[in-house]
Amino acid sequence: MAHFHPLTVTDIKRDTRDSVVVTLKPPPEANGDFKFIQGQYLTFRRVFDGEEMRRSYSICAGVNDGILRVGIKKVDGGWFSSWANEELKIGDTLEAMQPMGNFHAPLKPAEARSYLGFAGGSGITPLISLIKTVLDAEPKSTFTLVYGNRGASAIMFREELEDLKNLHMGRLNIVHVLENESADIDLFSGRLDREKCDALFSRWINVKGADLAFICGPEPMMLAVSESLKAHGMNESAIKFELFASAHPGRAKKKSAADGIAARGAKCSATIVIDGVARVVELAKGEQTVLEAAIAASIDAPFACKAGVCSTCRAKLIEGEVDMEANYALEDYEVERGYILTCQSHPRTDRIVVDYDQ
C-alpha cells in the first residue's frame, strides 16, 4: 500500500514567471521508496481550509541524476500550484506518496532507437525525465522533442534543454512551436493541432523511422498528435500518453475531519466480523464508510475499486441499517438478503454488525 512520507524542500528555482522547480529530499528511512522510473510522478497532499487536496506533479530528473525534483506551473485558481509558487520555501516539508505512473518504456542500452516526444506547456516535465534518462542510458538512441507553448517566455526548462542538446551533440533535436509569436518559418508557429502535426511529419520529422512516441499535454493536443502519428504509420502500441501534469484530478477531496473533529458528531458502534474474528470499532456517522472504519482500525478487510463496482468489499449486514451511496455491483436479490458494499455504506443506526465471512 502507498503511504505518504515527509519530503524536505532543499531548493526552489524559479523557471519562468509562473513556474518553479522544487528539489526534494526524502527522509533517510524512505530513501528506497523514492527511487523512480523515468516519466513517473509524485502525488502530494496538503490541507487547505480543512479540506485535504491531492495534486500530482511529474518528476523532472533523469533516473541517474541522484536528485528528486518536480516542476510546478501555477494554474489559475489552483490552490496547490499557487501556494507552491508563492509561499513554499526551502526547509519546508511536503508530504508525498512514492513515485507512480507508467509513462515509460523499458530501456535497451544496446539499441539505437529513435524517440519522439511531444509536450504542451508544463507537459514538458515528464519528458525532461525521459530525455535525460534515455540519452544517458541508451548511447546510440536519438530523441526529437516537439514542444508547444504560448510564447517564448512561457517555455519551461528552456536553458536546460539547450544544455542537454550540447551535452548530447547531435542526439537531441528540439522543435519549438509557439502560438503567439511568428517565426521565420510558418511551420514553427501556431498550435500543435492535427494540421501542424501533419505538416511536421511530412516535411520535418520521420515518423516511420521512429520506434516510440511519448505525448504529454492537454487532451486535444494529445489526440491530435496521436491521430497524426497513426496516420503517418506509427503503431498504436508505440504511442504512450500522459495527461497534462496539472490536469491530474488527484483523488476526490476528502474531509480531513474524519480523524479528529468528528468526535463531536454522532457515533455508531460497528461490529466487524472477518476470518471468524469479531471486532468492535467506533464509526463517525456521515463521515466514514464501513470499509474506511475497518481499515482505520487496521482490520484486513478486502477491497479494490472503492467505487461500488467491483464488489470485492461485499459483506453481509447482520444487524442495523446502512445507506449505500452507489451500487453498481450487487444484484437485487443480494441486497434483499442483506449484502452491502462496505466501501459505499454509511450506518443509519447506532449499532451495526457486518460479516465479511458470509
Partner 1 sequence: MADENDILEYLSKGGKFSAPGNAPARYRAELLRMMASFVDSEMSGAAGFADWINEGPGLKEKIACTRIVLEKLDHAERVLRIMGEFGANVGRYQTVHPWSARVGRGDDIGVQRRAGDMRLNVFHYPIRSWTDSVVMNVMMGAATVIQLGDFANCSYQPLGAAFNDILPRERRHAELGEEGLRKLAAHGDAQRREIDDSVNYWWPRVAATFGSPKSERTELLRKFGLRHRSNEALLEEWRDRMSVALSSAHGSWGGNC
**Which residues of this chain interact with partner 1, rule CB under 8 A?**
1-2, 41, 43, 56, 75, 78, 100-103, 218-219, 222-223, 226-227, 236-237, 240-244, 246-252, 300-312, 314, 328-329, 331, 334, 339
Q: What are the phi and psi torsion angles at 102 (to 5°)? A: -130, 35
Of the candidates 223, 69, 207, the one whose C-alpha atom is nearest the C-alpha of residue 132 is: 69
CB 152, min distance to partner 1, A: 25
Task: Output 54 or 168, the one with its CB closest to partner 1.
Answer: 54
Residue 301 grid cell: 478487510
CA distance 291 to 154: 45
Task: Output 75 or 317, the one with its CB closest to partner 1.
Answer: 75
CA distance 288 to 276: 24
Task: Output 147 or 356, the one with its CB closest to partner 1.
Answer: 356
User: What's the CA angle centered on 144, arms 139 and 145, to 5 degrees?
Assistant: 125
CB 241, min distance to partner 1, A: 4
Q: Rg of the chain over CA atoms, in angstroms?
A: 25
Task: Output 282 or 334, the one with its CB closest to partner 1.
Answer: 334
- 322: enclosing H helix or E strand: strand 322-324
Of the candidates 282, 238, 241, the one whose C-alpha atom is nearest the C-alpha of residue 258 is: 282
3-state secondary structure of 102: coil
CB 233, min distance to partner 1, A: 17
Task: Output 176 or 251, the one with its CB closest to partner 1.
Answer: 251
CB 102, min distance to partner 1, A: 4
CB 272, min distance to partner 1, A: 14
Task: Output 218 or 320, the one with its CB closest to partner 1.
Answer: 218
Residues near 306 by beta carbon (within 8 Å), at least 6 away in sequence:
291, 313, 343
Q: What is the DSSP string of 183-214?
A: -SSGGGBS--SHHHHHHHHHHT--STT-SEEE
CB 201, min distance to partner 1, A: 18
Task: Output 218 or 286, the one with its CB closest to partner 1.
Answer: 218
CB 134, min distance to partner 1, A: 17
